[in-house]
A = this chain, B = another copy of it.
Amino acid sequence: MSAEFPRGDARLARVRVVLSHTTHPGNIGAAARALKAMGLARLALVNPRHFPDPQAEAMAVGADDVLAAAGVCASLDEALAGATLAIALTARRRDLSPLALDVRDAARLAVEEAASGGEVAYVFGTEMSGLSNDEVIRCQRVAHIATNPDFSSLNLAAAVQIVAYETRVALLGGVAPDPGRTPPATHEELEGLFAHLETSMVRSGFLDPHNPRRLLERLRRLLGRARPESQEVNILRGMLTAWDEGPRGPRRE
């Protein structure tokens, strides 16, 4: 994906993730890895219960640099210093909450904000109870991750992973083409293949020209979905030629 946007994208450098009052240090390490895998690097920790901690380092795997650079703050206000857009991740809707978005729209908004020079913060609460109302009202938006109504228990690092992923996808702005393909077959190549298929099927006795059963139309439909490459048409025609010659070795009568 490296061709799709520059390393150390300036927009991602203006996005921070704030974890408030995290209980399990393993989640802080897993969150650091989740951020780094998506090209984010800025982590702020508001009163973590245990930090630094060996469990955090164990879960960070190659993201120890993100962990080492994480700022520990005494309050959410300190963690939000300089932020122009703070987005609170909450599992449930609340009265009087800021404007609510789904996380995809929130990520698009975050990338727009960063692209226009703003400073974005995603804010996550504790594993057990999420963000307090006092924390939520310090943000300009709340974002919800769609979950199973019967089981909305998302691990903290998993929620961070989804938000970081959506931010990266919003940044890439869409879909990677498949570079693995070689040139597609031309119309002439395809028609040559279908003509060869017909003669081979007739020659083998599989296709009765007096009762074709729409076999060629079915094969056109199948291969049309595949959009064959030139190389693939050549392979198929080579197979047909080999079959036209008939089986080698002992012949059944």
Interface residues of A (CB under 8 A from B): 1-2, 4, 7, 30, 33-34, 36-39, 61-63, 93-97, 99-102, 104-105, 144-155, 157-158, 161-162, 165, 168-169, 172, 175-176, 178-180, 200-201, 203-206, 215, 218-219, 222-223, 225-228, 231-232, 235, 238-239, 242-249, 251-252
On whether A248 and B99 interact (CB within 8 A), knowing A158-B34, A180-B93, A225-B226, the answer reads no
Identify 15 new A-B residue pairs, CB closer than 8 A, beyond the known A1-B144, A37-B158, A222-B226: A36-B151, A37-B154, A38-B147, A61-B155, A62-B153, A104-B169, A145-B165, A146-B172, A155-B161, A203-B247, A204-B242, A205-B248, A222-B228, A246-B246, A246-B251
* Residues of chain B contacted by A96 (CB below 8 angstroms): 180
On whether A151 and B63 interact (CB within 8 A), knowing A162-B161, A169-B104, A246-B251, the answer reads yes
| Minimum CB–CB distance for A79 against chain B, Å | 23
* Residues of chain B contacted by A63 (CB below 8 angstroms): 151
Q: Is the CB of A95 within 8 A of B180?
A: yes
Name the residue on B nearest A244 (C-beta): B247
| Minimum CB–CB distance for A69 against chain B, Å | 14
What are 21 A-B contacts defined by CB distance under 8 Å?
Answer: A1-B147, A30-B158, A33-B155, A36-B151, A37-B148, A37-B152, A38-B147, A93-B179, A104-B169, A105-B175, A161-B162, A200-B243, A201-B242, A204-B239, A215-B235, A218-B232, A218-B235, A219-B235, A225-B225, A225-B227, A246-B246
Q: Is the CB of A247 within 8 A of B1?
A: no
* Residues of chain B contacted by A7 (CB below 8 angstroms): 149-150
* Residues of chain B contacted by A154 (CB below 8 angstroms): 37
Q: Is the CB of A61 within 8 A of B153?
A: yes
* Residues of chain B contacted by A148 (CB below 8 angstroms): 36-39, 168
| Bound Cα distance from A93 to B100, whole angstroms | 37
Q: Is the CB of A1 within 8 A of B146?
A: yes
Q: Is the CB of A248 within 8 A of B37?
A: no
Name the residue on B nearest A229 (C-beta): B222
* Best-surrounded residue of A151, A153, A245 (most CB of chain B within 10 A): A151
| Bound Cα distance from A104 to B203, whole angstroms | 46
Name the residue on B nearest A61 (C-beta): B153
